[in-house]
Chains A and B, each alone.
Chain A
């Protein structure tokens, strides 16, 4: 497992290195000291796991995740922060309290291993570059989620950003719809129009709309009218 340590305090980083030395399958591939640095190093090193401090210069650990294209697994570290604990109560992100207890770290690492599955070879990037984007972090105020994109029925364009339409909440993602279309799995997501990117797994019915267009009704979602050109494309794709 390739790990990147993100913390603005040198001694805190040293402490983590010391603790991680007890795990033979863990390799520390770098240390970052603030948000920009962390984002740069994730892009460069492609670690499997981030050990991420919450309070840092230049923003918080959440900001790091919200800026990453394809975030690796994350374990947050924090001294004590009611704020952070609140943020975690809404999702299943793991966090460790400083000073970190070795047993708790071992448990958290074990959970990461379980998620990654047994076939993974240690010390190799999990994701071949070019593979489709599978999950993103979204941040709304104090809360932050890890969203599996396969679970999102519809993504709409909002200027330079995109909105994920999930049951219950519609978080904003700091990426353009065109960017997402490029990164997402093309066999699952289809650009229905300039405004809409639909998840084909969620399409319940297709009806003819005005002027030769198609209207897709989505499970757990609204009806989306495809543009004329995209309707044509869709028909071609389906007939194949």
Chain B
């Protein structure tokens, strides 16, 4: 992206100032032809024109670097306009002085022998207009670029949210999980009607949340955790004593907005890869604390015993989608990492900066 930007900028600089020089050169040639009189100053004028183009390039380039025009592109129009005006006057004045000095002392072009204030002022005004055009072009390109990037981002978010919405019903509440659940509930009806009723309640709550949650939205962590508990109670009915759950959440973490279904995805992954493949089962720990202006969220599971065949359909797609949505909804400073280095724990770590 940045290298492409640099290339576009370089092309605009060379192209723009080159064009300026070329137009002037053509006009000079035409004037000589029209006047039908030899001009012994012609070559000097030409050199001076080239030098002016180069000096314009240098001045605008230095100003852009020093004043950080790229940052200015983010400003609102009302704050940008006065700055642009000031800068184009300053650059115009500088270029005008350079023009005067070059024509008088370097190229010794006739008619510039003596210093004249009006010439400087007129020259300054003329060059300011040229610089204004330069700035307008510069910011126009930037605005177009930014609009395009924003559109691109928006489309990406749309695609990501659509795919995860689809994946959500296909994978996050896998049919596999759903039908196993219904099967357990059917068995419970005979064995323990009260628990069967509870299970139906949990399942309804989970389904409602799943169907209602637009993927492109955040929910307070507290709400997400309620649903995660529904999900865990259902998995507990299925896995019974093989699933052990520990929760450690500080109260100030509950209000922090997180992408809907984020914790659910992490917990589901933990069960799928850590608990379900192991005959003895294992433990899932959910932790959430606020530290240094960020929400730190950890979902850890005891890994399946070594040599256990991996769970099927695992391509890390769920985690990848979760981290994409996290980035889109909570900004690029939010992060999700899976830490499998520990021999006793596999941990998914999420950091979300608190909204200012």
Binding site for B on A (CB under 8 A): 8-12, 14-15, 18, 33-34, 37, 55, 57-60, 63, 79-81, 83, 97-100
Contacts and interface: CB of A to CB of B under 8 A. Distances in A.
Given A79-B180, A99-B186, A8 B279 contact: yes
A37 B279 CA distance: 10
Interface in B159-174: 174
Contacts of A33: 279
Interface string B76-110: 00000000000000000000000000000000000
B238 interface: yes
Interface stretch (B27-35, B150-158, B307-315): B307-315
Which of A11, A18, A81, A100 has its CB near the most chain B CB atoms (within 10 A)? A11
17 contacts: A9-B239, A9-B240, A11-B187, A11-B188, A11-B240, A12-B187, A15-B187, A57-B276, A58-B277, A58-B308, A79-B176, A79-B178, A79-B179, A79-B180, A83-B313, A98-B183, A99-B183
A98 B178 CA distance: 10
Contact of B240 (A10, A55, A58): A10
Given A10-B240, A14-B187, A55-B312, 4 more contacts: A12-B180, A60-B309, A80-B175, A81-B176
B4 to A, nearest CB: 42
Contacts of B277: 57-58
Interface in B269-325: 276-279, 304, 308-309, 312-313
A2 B313 CA distance: 34
B309 A11 contact: no
B184 interface: yes
Nearest to A57: B279
A9 B308 contact: no
Which of A14, A55, A57 has its CB near the most chain B CB atoms (within 10 A)? A57
A34 B98 CA distance: 86
A52 to B, nearest CB: 15
Interface string B237-248: 111100000000
B249 interface: no
Given A14-B191, A18-B187, A34-B279, A98 B309 contact: no
A224 to B, nearest CB: 36
A148 B67 CA distance: 82
B182 interface: yes
Nearest to A80: B175
Contacts of A14: 187, 190-191
Given A79-B176, A98-B183, A59 B237 contact: no
Contacts of B313: 83
A18 B309 CA distance: 31
Given A63-B309, A83-B312, A98-B183, A55 B238 contact: no
Contacts of B180: 9, 12, 79, 98
B182 A11 contact: no
A186 to B, nearest CB: 36
